[in-house]
Amino acid sequence: MDCFYAAVHMRDDPSLRGKPVVIGGRPESRGVVAAASYEVRKFGVHSAMPSSRARRLCPDAIFIPPDFRRYSKESEKIFAIYRELTPLVQAVSIDEAYLDVTGHLGEAGSATALAKEIRRRVREERGLTVSVGVGPNRLIAKIASDFNKPDGLTVVRPEKVQAFLDPLPVRRLHGVGPATERVLNEMKVQTVADLRGMPVEDLVGRFGKHGRILHEFARGIDDRPVETHQERKSVGSENTYPEDLTDLAFMETEVDRRAEEVAAALARSGLAGCTVTLKVRYDDFTTVTRSRTYAVPVYERATIAGCARDLLRRTEAPHRPVRLIGVTASNLVRERVEQLALFEISWDR
């Protein structure tokens, strides 16, 4: 989806169209940009940027608090369109998905025609635009989908894959982040063509198993299937505060609130967690985590909150100002064990 959060608001409020819109916290608080319209991106504003900096870059920006329930409902309707066309839909996030249309072309007759149908239906039925990349695998389709935003369609036929990839910077490949890019640049590798010219032995020697994946990606080889069922790995809740917290009792109250949200999310999903993690960010942006793993999965609010409060005391929070508190349950299982263990065993780290 193109600029999904902002696009939903601009669709529902025509007065926002064509204006610099930022979805996120207020600039006078410690809010963060969750999404930015294309109009405000021209000023250098992007997601994950502090809202205060976004305001400095674009003084005329319109700040709107996020409404995640609204985005979730819209996402469900859009994904329903996808699933009418193929059952093989892998959600990557609330606004992005892979669709395997092999064997599901129907009356469209080709993947390109099906991509055009997706764009038409999303535009006509939801009043939003989607950019689509068509390729022989996930790697190529993903890169292509970012090629012609917004409201774009980029098709890369199998015989054109290498010509498409070669001139691109290596950063465009899946799995190449800043650290990997930096190492590759030290190896005189800047484009995909450069990477393709590297012996696989050199890449494996430098990156291990990931080096072989890079070797294949540089040739447009990607055998990852579209996975329609993905288990959730964690459930969490965190909050950044407009003023630093210095009172331990208030911090514990906030921990309880975060734990309550985690417990509610676990209940909605029918899940329990073996590990509870507390996240604390101090006023100097130093971030620490403390975790406890249980022999019996936990899901009740009181248990999660009690654990998180104990973990809070194992940080410097009682003696240092805190700007963020988060609680997460991970190592999730679907079985909710009612029978208590004879001896409650847990491991802290």
pLDDT, one tens digit per residue, over 174-210 is 989 888 999 999 999 999 999 999 999 999 999 998 9
Contact, 90 vs 226, CB < 8 A?
A: yes
Q: What is the largest CA-CA distance in the chain?
A: 66
36 within some domain: yes
Let me know if residue 17 belongs to a domain.
Answer: yes
pLDDT the model gives residue 349 = 58
Q: Which of 39, 76, 84, 96 is catalytic?
A: 96
- The reply to whether 303 falls in a domain is yes
Q: What does the pLDDT read at residue 348?
A: 55
Per residue in 222-245, pLDDT (tens digit) is: 999 998 876 678 899 998 888 889
pLDDT digits (tens, 9 = 90+) for 70-96: 998 999 999 999 999 999 999 888 899
Task: Please identify every stretch of the chain with a pLDDT value under 50, giving residue numbers as ranges.
Answer: 339-345
Q: CATH number, domain at 313? A: 3.30.1490.100
pLDDT score at 26: 85
- pLDDT (0 to 100) of residue 335: 59
d(CA 41, CA 215) in angstroms, rounded, equals 34
pLDDT in the model for residue 231: 66
With beta carbons less than 8 A apart as the criterion, state whether 45 and 57 touch.
yes
pLDDT of amino acid 315: 95
Residue partners of 43: CB distance under 8 A and separation at least 6: 20, 57, 58, 61
96 among known catalytic residues: yes
Cα dist. 121→6, 72, 233, 290, 298 in Å? 20, 19, 32, 47, 43
Please indicate, yes or no, if residue 187 is contained in any of the structural domains: no
Report the Cα–Cα distance between both ends of the chain, in Å, rounded.
40
- The parent domain of residue 42 ranges over 4-66
Q: What's the domain count of the chain? A: 2
Q: How, if at all, do strands 153-155 and 132-134 pair? A: parallel
Domain end, chosen from 66, 88, 105, is at 66
